[in-house]
């Protein structure tokens, strides 16, 4: 009996070791898929209905986007505020995820991230660029100038883009050092030229946010970008100006998630045909796309939900309305898996202390110490996840201790089920909610959905660590084997009588 128990412990430890190895590997692969590939196209979040007149076309439309500029900082900038006072001030929800290329693809097509499937694409330009669905592609002389990272504007369908790409690596810009001294001159030439549409993409604020967080240096660089904005607007005050941002930043630096202060930014429209002093409530980025299309006399894709400016201002969004809902089938399947995990735990736990308290403590610690996981957090993407697992290591130790004592009085299968059924079910549930199973089996898709994709990163790592703790405790019992709960103590024997 003891030999069989030792064999069962060894086999269990090997199986749990495989889980320990596989889960972090799976996490890294799914993170790579998330930032690399496109997502399956799906329905966008519904917008309020509304009708009304749009902007009238004008000879010159100028769009300046200061990448990564948060709403609260934009309100403090003098040149930005001056443009807003000349026209209409809007709050814009850029949708989810809050990544530059997906948001700007929505801006120039009127299609949300869910409709295009473009949800991240880290340093992967659209090849070929956007076609006639893009506003810019419908204007033969459209021009876009980027401070750097020209691969973004080269994806958007503009007839002319600057800086040009490096011929060897199209993600890189040609002669980036020289371009630093030329880009603003070229931007001035673009906005003062005869093109019906000119776009200037200012990147320095976003870079400062990633490097320094949303702190003093970020605000200093935002003031520099605002000075550039002032010079560009002053160069052609008679044009119609769209002054925009594509997302904000969390305080430590980062974006991508569904946080309100990252997702909702300020925007202003000023110039011919726009009455001064207008203040609008919350609109969607596709509504801004519709306003640019009306201003340039172009049309959006018929699948676009973008509304005329007056209708969008009259029927504002509410709260998180721009966040797409979880697919019903995926949500129901995820709930079923979670309930199944809870059922297994309830069935296997015969003593309250054998419940997976370590997993509950690990989830609580990451939530209360690091905050609710979102795609704006650097820890979510870190290959090793050190910033996360250092928080829950004490909880993993609890799993080892519970397993050690549990194996002394409880069958092996009950202890393993009690400790790992719920964590495994939670990981499977979040993979299901994200629609990530095709990616698990090798399909090149991005499993990006609000909230659940961010939780997938720590949960997979937790399962791997929990499996390791249980395996180590099981191996430890091979050195000091537990008592077999099924063995019965021998009956006491009386001493033989003298002389017998």
* pLDDT computed for residue 271 by the predictor: 97
| Same domain, yes or no: 115 and 192 | yes
165 and 306 fall within a common domain: yes
Q: Does residue 298 lie in a domain region?
A: yes
Boundary-marking domain end, from 314, 337, 369: 314
How many domains are there within the chain? 2
263 and 344 belong to one structural domain: no
CATH code of residue 79: 3.40.720.10
Task: Provide CB contacts within 8 A for 373, sequence distance 6+.
Answer: 366, 367, 379, 380, 454, 455, 457, 458
Q: Is residue 44 part of a domain?
A: no
Is the domain of 74 the same as that of 33? no
Residue 499, pLDDT score: 43
Instruction: Mark whether 257 and 139 lie in a shared domain.
Output: yes
Domain check: are 188 and 247 in the same one?
Answer: yes
Q: What is the predicted pLDDT for the residue at 350?
A: 85
Looking at the domain assignment, is residue 93 inside a domain? yes
In the numeric block, which tokens belong to residue 399?
Answer: 């799993």
461 and 368 together in one domain: yes
Give per-10-residue mean pLDDT for the chain (500 aa): 81 95 97 97 91 94 98 98 97 98 98 98 96 95 98 98 97 97 98 98 98 98 98 97 98 97 98 91 97 98 96 93 95 98 94 96 97 97 95 96 92 96 98 98 97 98 98 85 47 48
* Residue 252 resides in a domain: yes
- Asked whether residue 173 is assigned to any structural domain, the reply reads yes
Tell me: do 279 and 349 sit in the same domain.
Answer: no
Question: What are the tens digits of pLDDT across the range 403-456?
Answer: 999 998 899 999 999 999 999 999 999 999 999 999 999 999 999 999 999 999
Decide: 449 and 432 in contact? Cβ < 8 Å: no
Residue 103, domain extent: 61-314
**Which pLDDT value is given to residue 409?**
87
Does residue 142 share a domain with residue 211? yes
In this structure, the answer to whether residues 33 and 94 fall within a common structural domain is no
Q: Residue 46 falls within a domain, yes or no?
A: no
Q: Do 135 and 105 fall into the same domain? A: yes
DSSP annotation string for 124-148: ---SSPP-TTSTGGGSTT-EEEESS
SS (H, E, C) 283-298: EEHHHHHHHHHHHHCC
Six-digit token string for 376: 């704006």
- 240 lies in a domain? yes
Domain-embedded: residue 102: yes
Question: In degrees rounded to 5, what are phi and psi of residue 333?
Answer: -65, -40
Question: Same structural domain for residues 371 and 242?
Answer: no
pLDDT at 486: 46
């Amino acid at each position: 009996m003891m030999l069989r128990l030792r064999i069962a412990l060894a086999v269990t430890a090997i199986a749990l070791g495989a889980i320990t190895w596989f889960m972090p590997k799976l996490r890294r692969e799914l993170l790579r898929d998330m930032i690399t590939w496109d997502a399956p196209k799906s329905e966008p979040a519904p917008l309020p209905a509304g009708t009304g007149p749009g902007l009238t076309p004008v000879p010159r439309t100028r769009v300046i986007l200061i990448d990564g500029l948060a709403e609260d900082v934009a309100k403090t900038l003098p040149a930005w505020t001056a443009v807003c006072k000349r026209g209409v001030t809007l709050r814009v929800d850029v949708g989810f995820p809050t990544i530059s290329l997906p948001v700007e693809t929505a801006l120039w097509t009127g299609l949300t991230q869910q409709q295009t499937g473009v949800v991240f694409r880290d340093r992967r330009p659209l090849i070929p660029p956007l076609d006639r669905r893009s506003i810019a592609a419908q204007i033969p002389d459209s021009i876009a100038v980027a401070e750097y990272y020209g691969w973004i504007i080269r994806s958007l369908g503009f007839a002319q883009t600057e800086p040009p790409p490096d011929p060897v690596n199209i993600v890189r810009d040609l002669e980036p050092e020289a371009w630093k001294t030329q880009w603003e001159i070229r931007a001035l030439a673009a906005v003062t030229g005869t093109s019906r549409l000119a776009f200037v993409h200012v990147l320095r604020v976003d870079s400062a946010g990633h490097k320094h967080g949303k702190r003093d240096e970020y605000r200093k660089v935002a003031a520099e970008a605002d000075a550039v904005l002032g010079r560009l607007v002053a160069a052609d005050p008679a044009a119609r100006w769209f002054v925009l941002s594509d997302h904000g930043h969390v305080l430590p630096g980062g974006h991508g998630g569904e946080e309100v202060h990252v997702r909702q930014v300020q925007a202003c429209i000023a110039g011919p045909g726009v009455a001064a002093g207008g203040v609008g409530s919350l609109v969607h980025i596709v509504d801004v796309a519709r306003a640019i299309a009306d201003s340039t006399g172009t049309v959006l894709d018929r699948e676009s939900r973008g509304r005329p400016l007056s209708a969008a201002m009259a029927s504002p969004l509410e709260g998180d309305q721009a966040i797409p809902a979880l697919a019903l089938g995926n949500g129901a399947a995820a709930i079923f898996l979670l309930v199944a995990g809870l059922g297994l735990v309830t069935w296997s736990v015969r003593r309250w202390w054998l419940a997976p308290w370590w997993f509950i403590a690990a989830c609580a610690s990451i939530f209360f110490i690091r905050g609710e996981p979102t795609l704006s957090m650097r820890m979510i993407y870190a290959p090793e996840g050190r910033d996360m697992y250092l928080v829950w290591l004490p909880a993993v130790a609890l799993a080892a201790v519970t397993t050690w004592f549990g194996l002394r009085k409880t069958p092996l299968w009950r202890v393993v089920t009690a400790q790992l059924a719920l964590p495994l079910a939670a990981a499977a549930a979040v993979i299901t909610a994200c629609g990530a199973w095709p990616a698990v089996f090798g399909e090149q898709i991005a499993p990006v959905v609000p909230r659940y994709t961010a939780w997938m990163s720590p949960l997979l790592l937790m399962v791997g660590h929990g499996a390791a703790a249980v395996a180590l405790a099981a191996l430890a019992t091979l050195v000091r084997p537990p008592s077999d709960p099924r063995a019965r103590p021998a009956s006491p024997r009386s001493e033989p009588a003298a002389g017998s």
